[in-house]
Structure 1
């Protein structure tokens, strides 16, 4: 599979294989040029906070996962476990031009009180799942 993971976390390795990613800090910023993920099966963004100012364009088969906050991410099973930290700001901030087009979209805000703000379009063939322990603001979800 063609999988890309962008993270601010530390990698947990075992026998040369990536087992998990531990995220405690760091910011991911996707600029106005966005991301072309058309050839990928999975695009994963894992950071304490994430801003998306450009279009993330993926194929009908691509799973896009944006997960912010303190977390441990099991790489093989794609399971996110929140650390239960507290954050009062916006953890995932999608600007007006920060739209996503993919087969499946998961946006997760793990910290208690942290919100998700998506001003751009979220368009998916399958599901769009927004999960937060804070406020969720969206514009257009298809």
Structure 2
């Protein structure tokens, strides 16, 4: 009998390979952690709100190389990572539109494998104010992927956005593969990119901000300059962003953006705005437009290329020892 329970993924536990439900959270925010028959960690997400948000709270959310399955299927379903997965009993009233994974921990989350949504496609949110490190992370069957160090903001069962005070997101090693996801959001106080990010529509916002769930409205917070990071966005020589279109926003006054890697939009534009110094010693390219804007100085010793127009705006000194080119206007 036990083997049958194991095969159906119904052996419940409080943790699996670094994923632990937060038992200090309300019961309706505690997911059930189990395993697939093939040994892949499986999270039976909690019942969604009327707004379609499954709010799951953890004391630890680390993903190993084997990945993890977020079970958004009421009935048995086939998955890429774990084969057949038993239906999630928490979803009798319907599947989630947004799967919120909120982490209450002093430690950053280590994401070293893929996160797969079983069943109905959904937005996956991983929120850990202590930080997130991605080395070989990625997403399967998610229409939107959001990594943030912000505190999730809930209102009447809907996830309205994130309040960012602190925390860094790092992309290292094998990088991040969100190429099968329509939209990818990285929202944190600061971001370090030492490996590649592959995405379709990539938006990165840094600083102390209130950011709405659609990542369209950014409200800058005031004060608290004591704990400012050295750089808001730091793309190292081994780092890169490879996406259809890319929007990068740094709101923190005096905190700069540095690119020594490659920022390339294969289908659309690259937009980079910062309230601090912009340094480019790498390459920035777009199929359509490149728009760089800063309230401080801008230094370009690398290359900037646009298939259409290039716009560079600097309220400070603009030093240029590299190349800037476009097919139309610069």
* Alignment TM-score > 0.5, same fold: yes
Residues of 2 paired with 1:77 and 1:113: CA distance?
23
Residues of 1 paired with 2:175 and 2:229: CA distance?
26
Residues of 1 paired with 2:222 and 2:144: CA distance?
27
Please name the residue that 1:93 is paired with. 234
Please name the residue that 1:72 is paired with. 210
Deviates more, 1:83-92 or 1:108-117: 83-92
Instruction: Check the 8 A contact 2:234/2:257 in 1, yes or no.
Output: yes
Structure 1 residues 36 and 111: CA distance shift in structure 2, 3 A: same
Structure 2 residues not aligned, in runs of 5+:
1-121, 123-142, 286-330
Residue deviations 1:60-108 (CA, integer Å, cap 9, x gap): xx21111111001011362222214444721111111111111111111
Instruction: Check the 8 A contact 2:185/2:215 in 1, yes or no.
Output: no
Residues 108-123 of structure 1 aligned to structure 2 (within 5 Å):
108-123=249-264
Moved over 3 A (4+): 84-88
Matched, 1:43 2:216: no
Please name the residue that 1:14 is paired with. 155
For residue 38 of structure 1, give the secondary structure of its aligned residue in structure 2.
Answer: strand
Residues of 2 paired with 1:63 and 1:110: CA distance?
20
For residue 163 of structure 2, give the secondary structure of its aligned residue in structure 1.
Answer: strand
Residue deviations 1:35-54 (CA, integer Å, cap 9, x gap): 00111111111111110111
- Let me know the Cα RMSD of the aligned residues: 1.5
Please name the residue that 1:130 is paired with. 272
Q: Which has the higher contact order (CA 8 A, sep 6+)?
A: 1
Residues of 1 paired with 2:215 and 2:244: CA distance?
19
For residue 40 of structure 1, give the secondary structure of its aligned residue in structure 2.
Answer: strand
Residue deviations 1:11-54 (CA, integer Å, cap 9, x gap): 00112221010001111111121100111111111111110111
Structure 1 residues not aligned, in runs of 5+:
none
Q: What is the number of equivalent residue pairs in this alignment?
A: 139
